[in-house]
Structure 1
Amino acid sequence: MSDTTSGRPGTATAAVPAAVPGDLGWDLGMVLRGYQTRFEAAVAGMPAGIRGFQVLSAVVHKDPPNQQALGAHLAIDRTVLTYLLDTLVDAGVVERIPDPADRRARKIIATASGRQMLAAYEERVAAAEADLLAGLEADDARDLGLLISRLARNVHRTQPGASPCEAMDNL
């Protein structure tokens, strides 16, 4: 007996619709929209919002050697980054210090207050991400995260100047 829903003889699995070219973009856009809505709510009150969170997170977790490397990592224009950093410095969450390797450059470091703020917002972001993934089994959610991370690193490797912020702005 052949099951036409799976195309394999003797199987009785549920029908899986064939992917239509272009559906991946719609699917990713919907997931991104759901993520963005939750992420914005999770970082409400953070100085400079989403970008402020991303800058502070990169400073703490990636420890870029200087302001230029920070901007390159986040694909943020240097003039925009300067304004973001001004906001974060004024809020007391980061400091600009001379780069030990090049006194003309500045290294961005998190203050103790900034690290505490980041920890609190990371809990909120983690809860928002869990909410987005709540419709998946735990193993599927973990696998999805790993696959998206691998795919993102591959895109970044082949398009190192690509800006995820710009992609979101153009949705």
Structure 2
Amino acid sequence: MQRISLTPRPAPARHVPPPSSAGLGWALRTVLRDYLARADAVLATAPGGQHGYEILAAVSAGDYGTQISLANRLGIHRTVVTDRIDDLERAGMLQRHLSAADRRVRRLVITDAGRAVLTELSAGLEAAEEETLASLDEDDREQFLNALHLLARRPVAAA
């Protein structure tokens, strides 16, 4: 059985024109592959990788509620979220505190170490984004990101 690698491959040369019937898919895939290669290098040392980073960011922003609502918001299976929170807690980046309002609920609190790692990872991801979009001038970059965020916020079409 052939083994499938989830590691992004280096982006092909950008001068190769896409097949006319797959222009959007080719363009998105090419840009995403480039960004992911850079982002993966930044997140390689983070406990929990991409998921760990997303959890730290959500907890830092106070934007999560319960662990189940955090899992739903991030689109990560709840058991994976629990595992990543365990990883982050063992690494000293998060703490679980009993909720004063409901002792069945554990509130997540980011530690100073977690905040420092989050700041470092965020800076690295920002640099990865800058490098990926370096061929766009400031106005084009702003328009591209605005359009991309608009598309990302749309409801997903049913399959």
Q: TM-score range by the shorter chain?
A: 0.7 to 0.9
Please give the TM-score of this superposition, normalised by the length of structure 1. Answer: 0.75
Query: Aligned runs of 1:77-96 on 2, under 5 Å?
Result: 77-96=77-96
- Within 2, Cα distance between the matches of 1:54 and 1:71? 10
Structure 1: 4+ residue segments shifted above 4 A? none
Q: CA deviation at 1:21?
A: 3.8
Letter in 2 for 1:91: A
The number of equivalent residue pairs is: 141
- Within 2, Cα distance between the matches of 1:146 and 1:107? 34
Letter in 2 for 1:48: G
Structure 1 vs Structure 2 CA RMSD: 2.0
- Within 2, Cα distance between the matches of 1:74 and 1:130? 24
Question: Who wins on radius of gyration, i.e. which is larger?
Answer: 1
Q: CA deviation at 1:101?
A: 4.1
Letter in 2 for 1:134: A
The 8 Å contact of residues 65 and 99 in structure 1, kept in 2 or not, is answered as no
Q: Mark the runs of 5 or more structure 2 residues left unpaired by the alignment.
A: 1-16
The 8 Å contact of residues 66 and 99 in structure 1, kept in 2 or not, is answered as no
Q: Which residue of 2 aligns with 1:47?
A: 47
Percent identity at matched positions? 37
Q: Which residue of 2 aligns with 1:10?
A: none
Match status 1:108 vs 2:108: yes
Letter in 2 for 1:138: E
